[in-house]
Amino acid sequence: MKKHIAIILLTGAALSLFMGYGEKINNPFLHEYKTPFGVPPFDEIKPEHYLPALEEGIKRHNQEIDAIVNNTDEPTFANTIEAFEYSGELLNRVSLIFFNLKEADATPEMDAIAPKVVPLITNHSGDIWLNEKFFNRVKVVYEKRESLGLASDQMRLLDNMYKSFIRGGANLDADKKERLRQINERLSVLELEFEANVRAETNAYQLVVEKGQDLAGLPETLKAAAAEVAKEKGMEGKWVFTLDKPSIMPFLQYADNRVLREDIMKGYLMRCDRNNVNDNKANIIEQVSLRTEKAQLLGYPSYAAYVIDEKMAKTPERVNAFLEELWMPALNLAKQEAADMQALIEKEGNSFMLESWDWSYYAEKIRQQRYDLNEEELQAYFKLENVLEGAFTVANKLYGISFTKLDNMPIYHPEVIVFEAKDSEGKHLGIFYFDFFPRSTKAVGAWMWEYRTQHYSQSGENIRPIIVNVCNFTRPTEGKPALLTIDEVTTLFHEFGHGLHGLMSQNRYQSLAGTAVPTDFVELPSQVMENWATHPDVLKLYVKHYETGETIPDALIEKMQKSERFNQGFATVENLAACILDMAYHNRTTTDRIADVNQFENDIMKSIGLIPQIPPRYRSTYFKHPFTGGYTAGYYSYLWSQVLDADAFSAFTETGDVFNREVALAFLKNILERGGSEEPMNLYVKFRGAEPSPDAMMKRNGMKK
């Protein structure tokens, strides 16, 4: 996942332009960083530094904007568009750090300042896009754009800025502008509260097991991890399971005790739906209504129409048609999978009907029966350090880049590790942070972020990026290293793919660089990397047994290949159900409030025929992608990008060489390096020679022969 900030972060110039004011204040943000590669001085930054630095950043940015607006010279691309692009440096650098640490290390101190910080930045952003004098200057440049002799990236920058003003309400009358300000500020607070509630509910649940016989079926590594959690919580001699993925997912997969599987599954599904202080239902109702009102203020029938207008898909109708095309093939496959599991339940002499808490358990049984593939056995080959080295090896073979671990670097948590990336000629490419393990202060899931985005300074220096991957993987236990599940392996490659997108960027302007692309294109570089994670030619390069050092045997690789399409009906259906739910909320054309969130969700799922054994990947009350910003009316992006990534990887497999350097170079030059400097589909066609078809994805997922 590529994290997006719900408000509009502002671009800035090189990180070296600090002046007298900051030197009088003991605030690391207000001084030039005296750190290796100019990385953030995490060891010096304290929560109390953010608000003063942001206030100073806004003050400076307002002065820069005033200088642009009050310039008596005729508006030009240089004195208006580029001048804004290079403004807001301090605000940008502080925001990029704050918004990642707010989720990666949300201490009570960070939580306390977030309600002050987020509205402050939201209001500042609104002040910019609603500035009529500023918009008039931009409009002058925009209207004569064809005669200015602009390069393609400059034209893209101008077009984006003009549309940002239009979409930000610049053409509204005074009353509507004020209402838009109110909506934006309220939404920023609601999104913040939604995220905090999900984190609180996730941390609040624990399944405490007191009897050893209740652990039947569980792998020793999972039992050891649960014992360590119990010890940390003062319950030595017991076992504690949580809603963190490395705990709940293998528990559901292996636990023989059906009652406990039901308990933990319901704990997961009922997050923020308990009518308590962390309940998100009222939050959702208000968000959906306000978003519809905002879209209609700006001339769109629905919020989905407003959002998707800027995406590759362009319209909600195209998105819905895409989801509908996939739905029945996926649902039919899932129904067959459910029937197979029900048959196994009855074969074992049981009379109960398959439920959601049974699916992973019986899927694992069928996997073992059909393919003789045991996930626990497989996990022993995927030591975290080896998997990371495998991702580095793939990047080296494709693009010639290398990674060197750096010690004694400023880090925001003791578990964070840091690498320097260099290109094929040994030149510095960027800095890459990795933060792998769950903790109570970290949001669930996995994401990529940039502490500094690649761009060229006004003096022509290529400022290289600072990237971070944040994950929630299985922790090491006493006597055993971190051993990843296949899902975690693909997640590591996925987030690393996002990281490469930011790392390999070669763009003039920061707002067009790296991952600054539509959400239904941003998942291409990440999802295509997943194809290398378990490809036989790649497995041999990095997969070794953590105890013996034995390279993964051919027989085990063959089993993995045979089981590739297993359970894909379930995986695609739960994904599609979440996409459809997101679209249903945001394609509404009325501002009337939803009466009941659970009823709304149930009605939508019933209308598409979702079988009860499969809940949506995210139920409404903890569905962070649309309700904390970034992927609102955009969760479809993952499936949309599956079409892109399956087609893109075919460009390699068609040559018979998954490391084909000619194809890799084309992907590098047309996708990774280009960022958002051109329309995404144009970039894809330049790489592949044609627009993608869903066929490759549907075949890969077992929905088409």
Listed residue (244, 269, 260, 242) closest to 615, CA to CA: 269
Q: Assess whether 399 and 538 both reside in one domain.
A: yes
Cβ–Cβ contacts within 10 Å for residue 635, how many?
26
The domain in which residue 528 lies consists of 384-562+636-700
Which residue type, as a one-letter code, is found at position 245?
A: K
Say if residue 11's pLDDT is above 80. no
Look at phi and psi of residue 677 and say left if phi exceeds 0, alpha if psi is from -120 to 50, else beta. Answer: alpha
Instruction: Give percent of the chain above pLDDT 90.
Output: 92
Three-class secondary structure assignment of 334-383: HHHHHHHHHHHHHHCCCCCCCCHHHHHHHHHHHHHHHHCCCHHHHHCCEE
- Average pLDDT for residues 619-635, to the nearest whole number? 95
Res 700: pLDDT? 87
Cβ–Cβ contacts within 10 Å for residue 389, how many?
15
In a domain, 425, yes or no: yes
Q: Assess whether 247 and 389 both reside in one domain.
A: no
Q: Where are the alpha helices (DSSP H) in 504-596?
A: 519-533, 536-542, 554-562, 568-586
Angle in degrees, CA 39, 42, 44, rounded to 5:
115
pLDDT in tens, 241-259: 999 999 999 999 999 999 9
Say if residue 161's pLDDT is above 80. yes
Q: Assess whether 540 and 674 both reside in one domain.
A: yes
Say what angle helices 132-143 and 47-69 make with each other, to 10 degrees. Answer: 60
In a domain, 511, yes or no: yes
Torsion sign over Cα 627, 629, 634, 639: negative
Torsion sign over Cα 592, 595, 600, 603: negative
In a domain, 13, yes or no: no
Say what angle helices 281-297 and 174-204 make with each other, to 10 degrees. Answer: 150
Half-sphere exposure of 87 (CA within 13 A, CB side): 20
Distance CA 602, CA 621 (A): 13
Say if residue 17's pLDDT is above 80. no
In a domain, 90, yes or no: no
Say if residue 489's pLDDT is above 90. yes
Res 199: pLDDT? 95
Residue 375: pLDDT band with limits 50, 70, 90: confident
Say if residue 195's pLDDT is above 50. yes
Say if residue 312's pLDDT is above 80. yes
Residue 408: pLDDT band with limits 50, 70, 90: very high
Q: Assess whether 264 and 392 both reside in one domain.
A: no
Q: Assess whether 388 and 263 both reside in one domain.
A: no
pLDDT in tens, 539-565: 999 999 999 999 999 999 999 999 989
Distance CA 65, CA 133 (A): 10
Residue 701: pLDDT band with limits 50, 70, 90: confident
Residue 23: pLDDT band with limits 50, 70, 90: very low
Name the domain boundary from 249, 269, 289: 269
pLDDT in tens, 504-539: 999 999 999 999 999 999 999 999 999 999 999 999
Number of domains in the chain: 2
Res 176: pLDDT? 97
Distance CA 252, CA 318 (A): 36
Say what angle helices 568-586 and 637-653 make with each other, to 10 degrees. Answer: 140
Residue 450: pLDDT band with limits 50, 70, 90: very high
CATH of the domain at 694: 1.10.1370.40
In a domain, 101, yes or no: no
Name the domain boundary from 269, 289, 314: 269
Q: 231: exposed, middle or buried (C-beta count within 10 Å: 0-12, 13-18, 19+)?
A: middle
Spatial contact of 439 and 404, defined as CB atoms under 8 Å apart: no
Q: What length is written for the chain?
A: 705
Res 12: pLDDT? 36
DSSP code for 544: B
Res 25: pLDDT? 60
Which residue type, as a one-letter code, is found at position 569?
A: G
In a domain, 4, yes or no: no
In a domain, 631, yes or no: no
Active-site choice (495, 523, 530, 601): 495
pLDDT in tens, 562-615: 998 999 999 999 999 999 999 999 999 999 999 999 999 999 999 999 999 999
Name the domain boundary from 247, 269, 291: 269
* Whether 678 is catalytic: no
For residue 111, the surrounding DSSP H or E stretch is helix 108-129
Distance CA 244, CA 225 (A): 12
Res 22: pLDDT? 36
Mean pLDDT of the residues in the chain: 94
Res 5: pLDDT? 53
In a domain, 649, yes or no: yes
pLDDT in tens, 56-68: 999 999 999 999 9
pLDDT in tens, 95-142: 999 999 999 999 999 999 999 999 999 999 999 999 999 999 999 999
Res 629: pLDDT? 78
- Average pLDDT for residues 157-178, to the nearest whole number? 97
**Range with lowest mean pLDDT among 52-66, 134-148, 190-204, 687-701:** 687-701
